[in-house]
Amino acid sequence: MAAINSHPEFSVPDARKDFPALSSTQVYFDNAGGSQVLKPVIDSSVCLLPLSRISTYLSQSNVQLGASYKVAQASTGRYEEGYEAAARFINAEKEEIVIGPSTTLLFANLAQTLHFPPHSEIIISQLDHEANISSWNLRPLLSPKTRFVSCTHASNILGTIHDIRALADEVHSIPDALLCVDGVALAPHRAVDVRALGVDFYAFSWYKVYGPHIATLYAASRVLPRLTSLGHYFHHGEDLRTKLGLAAASYELVAGIPDVVRYFGGEKEVREATFGRISEHEEGLQGCLLEYLNGREDVTVYGETKADRALRVPVVSFSVRGRGSRGIVEKIEERSHYACRWGHFYSKRLVDDVLKIDGKQGEEGEGVGKGEGEGVVRVSMVFYNTKDEIQGYVKVLDEVLSE
């Protein structure tokens, strides 16, 4: 398998060969909930560097880290290689990141290490996945008491990309104020450079970036001294892993991260060029779907209605007047292999309070309720999806909405 960054031009057929799951009849349009996994992360026979495979870690070096004997040294080396690759992926230093089971848990851990003076103000928007703000509507909310602002880099329902650099500059106009960004919905579609963004904290999930089910949290070195430690009292160190890690990252899954990073390009410039080609392809995908949806008077598209890749990622959500979102999805599934979703996708405040849709959703994402008031229909695409798949989906959707 050749890494995608080695292709002079982006080739969807070649890219699809790198994902074993795409050989099935299922068409995946639920990628915002979790992407398919790259072949080298899964298959030990085709990995670019065998010593960074998950299977190799488990079969040859599944021991405690840090010991002096040979196998422990190999285990530690593979684990550290994973950390180095994860940091490189977002242009951070290894000491500035921690890897854990999920973005949610890492943010929860971060919250326990932050302590603000009495009467401090924290700004958390009620829009997409708990946040969605811009510099011009943030400014009136800021005050000398502001200590923490949280937002997403891109909406997991609207698809809207936010100007994080502008937000960071605005937040940092207040002494001691911190900006925390959820990058989960953006990272599968764009290269992330935390230095260029100017953020204090940034997190994303590898299982939505074609890798294993773990996540990474970044904290800028300048803010590390402000964090208390959750670790044992005898563990000393100012790196984020010591303070927040709690040995919670699956060692073998961390060892699989280098294969993901290598696939998109180990060097920053190469990775940016790779994601540039990817975003161009994804713009065409969402353009095909948006053209159809925008042409129907009974359909409401939430977020940007243009396919411009500068404005949105290919996460498209909509509702249909007089039709329940759950019923639409179920009818699509009855007659096709297209997999999309309905609900609020944990952006419940956005769906309920801002979009004014009853976004009922049960445990583990299972939908509940009948008729209207079932959140949105969400179609989330990534670079391995094809225009033929989108055109086929539109055809089936049109049949369902014509009934």
- Token digits for 83? 């950390």
What pLDDT was estimated at residue 154? Answer: 93
The span from the CA of 352 to the CA of 284, in Å, is: 30
Please state the rounded mean pLDDT for residues 240-259: 90
Are 151 and 202 in contact by the 8 Å Cβ rule? The answer is no
Given this model, what pLDDT does residue 53 score? Answer: 67
Tell me: pLDDT of 335 over 70: yes
**pLDDT value, residue 346:** 84
User: Which range is least confidently modeled, 17-31, 216-230, 252-266, 352-366?
Assistant: 352-366
Closest CA to 378 of 362, 356, 392, 359: 359
Structure confidence at residue 371 (pLDDT): 43
Stretch 357-375: mean pLDDT: 54
Report whether 378 contacts 316 (CB < 8 A).
yes
Please count the other Cβ atoms lying within 10 Å of the Cβ belonging to residue 172.
16
Residue 216 confidence (pLDDT) above 90: yes
Asked whether residue 215 carries a pLDDT value surpassing 70, the answer given is: yes
Lowest mean pLDDT among 254-258, 369-373, 393-397: 369-373
pLDDT at 359 over 70: no
Q: Is 363 exposed, middle or buried (0-12, 13-18, 19+ CB in 10 A)?
A: exposed
The more confident residue out of 368 and 385 is: 385
Q: Would you tell me the crossing angle of helices 70-89 and 257-264 to the nearest 10 degrees?
A: 40
Q: Which of 402, 378, 387, 397 is nearest to 12 (CA)?
A: 387
Q: What is the pLDDT of residues 275-305, one digit of tens each?
A: 999 999 999 999 999 999 999 999 999 999 9
Lowest-confidence pick of 93-97, 137-141, 170-174, 208-212: 137-141
Q: Report residue 54 CA to chain centroid gap.
A: 21
pLDDT of residue 93: 97
The answer to which of 236-245, 361-370, 373-382 has the lowest mean pLDDT is: 361-370
Q: Are strands 215-219 and 201-205 parallel, antiparallel or unpaired?
A: antiparallel
Q: What is the pTM of this model?
A: 0.91
Contacts of 204-208 with CB under 8 Å at 24 or more apart are: 204/90, 204/103, 205/102, 205/103, 206/86, 206/253, 206/257, 206/260, 207/34, 207/35, 207/37, 208/31, 208/32, 208/33, 208/34, 208/35, 208/184
Q: What is the mean pLDDT of the chain?
A: 88
- Does the pLDDT at position 362 exceed 60? no
For residue 217, the one-letter residue type is: L
